[in-house]
Structure 1
Amino acid sequence: MTQWWALLIVVYLSVYLAATQHRRKALYPSAHRIKRGTYSLINPTFQRSVEDVNLLFEILLAGMQIQGGEHSMLIPDEELASLKSVDKLMVICDDVLPKRLSDIRRLTAELYQRRQPLSWQDFERTVLTLVYSTQTLARVSNPQQRGAWTDAVIQLFRAVQKDLRPS
């Protein structure tokens, strides 16, 4: 009888540990890695105040482009691009956001499985990934790639929409 309880406890603990590790799995794992030569932030975020939210909106309206590769963010407005706080946004766009379709599909699958609301950092990154995916979709001409990117955009939009709904 004692062995049975010990076995039950071991099974329960292993299931519990697996479940807690799954819940703690980062949606944006690269946000927790520091790269040499970049703005030294762990888990960087851009929006910390209402002014930051308004600034991001202004940057997006100015025509910010996020493209694949290093130094992938372009802000056509030189005045906005020169702001010090934009450095954080550049790190997020260059080093944190997924750029490959396979990485974005992994992200959308994890977003689909989530039951709790996104953290504000993950919400910000998901919206920026949606912006990147939409801009990439606009540049793709191959019909198969276009379909795949369209699906990614729809899934990201649904994830944002789901997070904005009241519980």
Structure 2
Amino acid sequence: MRITNMRRWWAPLIVVYLSVHLAAAQHHRKALYPSAHRIKRGTYSLIDPTFQRSVEDVNLLFEILLAGMQIQGVEHTMLIPDEELASLRSVQKLEVICNDVLPKSLSDIRRLTAELAWRRQPLSRQDFERTVLTLVYTTQTLARVSTQQQREAWTDAVIQLFRAVQKDLRPS
């Protein structure tokens, strides 16, 4: 009789535990940047585009950022003031990432930061790159907003993205 009562007590507990475990496992497989897996008409056709594949690509991205690259949300365009850098073939991938993959609305960026806060494992190389570029976009947007309320909201997004990058860079 005691064993039967114990089974009745443990069964719901086990079901709850398994449900939570399954939900957590699905959460970790959820794409941080779902638009990276969609092909859009008229763009450089890439599935899950990534810019940095070598040390030279990392150096090129650093040079592009130093040259004053702008990611503008309203027009959804990436601008590189240096014409020589902008004309490089490999920059097409970066344009696709900045124009079509990165979240541009504050609500999408907040969704991203919430998902980043829940993550326990390190970001993939692609997701780390996109998070850093989203941080660049968010910082540039913060510089352009005019009202105090918008400034506070975008500042919070910048801080959350910075914390996510910082957390990913810490040794585990």
Structure 1 residue 141, shift from structure 2 partner: 1.1
| Structure 1 spans left out of the alignment, 5+ residues | 1-5
Q: Which residue is 2:25 aligned to?
A: 20
Deviation at 1:20, TM superposition (A): 2.7
Over 3 Å counting, the alpha-carbon distance change for 1:8 and 1:154 in structure 2 is closer
Instruction: Please provide the CA RMSD for this pair.
Output: 2.2
Paired residues in the alignment total: 167
Match 1:80 to one of 73, 77, 85: 85
Give matches, 1:1-167, under 5 Å: 17-167=22-172
Question: How big is the shift at 1:32?
Answer: 0.6
The equivalent residue for 1:3 is none
Q: Could you say if the C-alpha distance between residues 143 and 12 of structure 1 is closer, same or farther in structure 2, counting changes exceeding 3 Å?
A: closer
Q: Give 3-state SS (helix, strand or coil) of 1:73's partner.
A: strand
Q: Percent identity?
A: 88
Question: Structure 1-normalised TM-score?
Answer: 0.90
SS at match of 1:27: coil
Q: How many Å separate the matches in 1 of 2:170 and 2:15?
A: 39
- TM-score norm. by structure 2 comes to 0.88
In the alignment, structure 2 segments of 5+ residues that lack a partner are 1-10
Look at both structures and tell me which one has the larger radius of gyration over its CA atoms.
2
Equivalent-residue separation in structure 1 for 2:16 and 2:151 (angstroms): 46
